[in-house]
A and B are shown apart, each in its own frame.
Chain A
Amino acid sequence: QITLKESGPTLVKPTQTLTLTCTFSGFSLSTSGVGVGWIRQPPGKALEWLALIYWNDDKRYSPSLKSRLTITKDTSKNQVVLTMTNMDPVDTATYYCAHRRLIRIAAAYDYWGQGTLVTVSS
């Protein structure tokens, strides 16, 4: 059974750096084709894709946020870490991590964490 859980601060101040950890079980991030992504959702708004890391350490970032994001993995700990620099109140959102599966020639996020609400405020 695949599970993912996000952890990190619930409140950060403007200009600070946010560090979120996704701890997962039920799969290995060393398995070919597997990825873990981060997606966020401001209150009452739509989903926004942030970043993705693949089993082979290949990384993808949102073009609009690329300069502020870093995604890394620790395969031995079954964790993926997302850092976002220079936080602003507009970054207030629920942050999700999700398992990306390759299904034959298709790919999608088939398991999601419960999400963690991060508020940016002084």
Chain B
Amino acid sequence: EIVLTQSPGTLSLSPGERATLSCRASQSVSSSYLAWYQQKPGQAPRLLIYGASSRATGIPDRFSGSGSGTDFTLTISRLEPEDFAVYYCQHSRAFGQGTKVEIK
């Protein structure tokens, strides 16, 4: 079974800064099924990126995804106040353990 490992566990940044989140798979996976979600407290997850690099409907272009094989990245180019949340990568039956982006 595929295991997804996200790093770092917590990212402390200021608004306006760039955030780079990593998701590493235990074996090579198809980019077609690699997705990223954002979750805020008390809310359901929201789809940000599918197919490793395609933005979901209504997602601002400051969010971008990249990667292939075992290494994938979610980048937030300039953090807005509403971007501080937990982010999960997902592939098929697996979710990563999440990266919390918190205000520094």
Contacts and interface: CB of A to CB of B under 8 A. Distances in A.
Given A103-B51, A106-B33, A107-B33, A112 B98 contact: no
A52 B93 CA distance: 9
Interface residues of B, number: 24
Interface string A42-65: 000011110010000000101100
A60 B93 CA distance: 9
Given A47-B88, A108-B50, A62 B32 contact: no
B88 A46 contact: yes
Contacts, number: 63
Interface residues of A, number: 22
Nearest to B33: A107
A11 B103 CA distance: 36
Interface string A77-117: 00000000000000000001000000111111110111100
